Amino acid sequence: MANAAETTATVEQPHGSEHEVEPTALGLTPGMWVAAAMLVFLLILVVKKVPGAIVGGLDKQIAAIRQQLDEAKVLRAEAEKLRAEYAAKIANAEKDAAAMLEHARHEADLIVAKASQDTADVIARREKMAADKIGAAERAAVDDLRAKVASAAAAAAGQLIAANHGANADKALVDGAIAGLSH
């Protein structure tokens, strides 16, 4: 057995196919050497605490992700709160706008009603003033006419008396008036 690792033998199979013999070193096949190398590699990793470091790093990443998720939940809750606040503000603003519009309409109706009433009052006052002026003008015209008629009647009576009555006629009238008083 000089060098077993370097020796390869060919064995004939009964059906004519050839089969190679695997080389061995120190009594281990290549598959065993790979397994031993993996075992040594894994032992080195365990001794150097690489899995702990990997797990620690993953735990840190998991903690960071959890923290980010918690922050995202807090931010989402705040956003929902703000959305609810703004929705309430919008609803209140719409109610306020409707109330303001209704109030403005009511005030406009009151202003129109007051303007109509004021216009009716002004028209009534002016009609009364016009009627009063017409009445005053009529009274002044009637008084003026009466004064003219009285003046004309007095002038006519003065002329009639002067033309138809003398001292004798006046004496007869005075005597008739006295006789009418004595009876």
Cα distances (angstroms) measured from residue 124 to each of 51, 118, 174: 106, 10, 58
Percentage of the chain with pLDDT > 70? 89
* 52-56, 68-72, 119-123: least confident range: 52-56
Q: Give a yes or no: residue 2 inside a domain.
A: no
- What is the longest distance spanned by two Cα atoms in the chain? 210
Residue 183 has pLDDT above 90, yes or no: no
pLDDT reading at 64 higher than 90 = yes
Average pLDDT over residues 100-118: 94
Q: Tell me if 4 is assigned to some domain.
A: no
pTM score, whole prediction = 0.36
CB atoms near residue 33 (< 10 Å)? 13
Residue 131 lies in a domain: yes
Asked if residue 45 has pLDDT above 90, the reply is no
Total count of domains within the chain: 1
Q: Which domain holds residue 90?
A: 50-154
d(CA 125, CA 40): 121
Q: Is residue 14 part of a domain?
A: no
Higher pLDDT, 113 or 175: 113
How high is the pLDDT of residue 2? 45
Q: Which amino acid is at 121?
A: D
Domain annotation covers residue 45: no
Query: How much is the mean pLDDT over the chain?
Result: 84
Q: By the 8 A CB rule, do 30 and 23 touch?
A: yes
Q: Answer yes or no: is 88 within a domain.
A: yes
| pLDDT at res. 15 | 56
pLDDT at position 91 over 80:
yes
Evaluate whether 4 touches 24 at the Cβ level (below 8 Å).
Answer: yes
In a domain, 183, yes or no: no
Residue 19 resides in a domain: no
Distance between CA atoms of 77 and 96, rounded to whole angstroms? 28
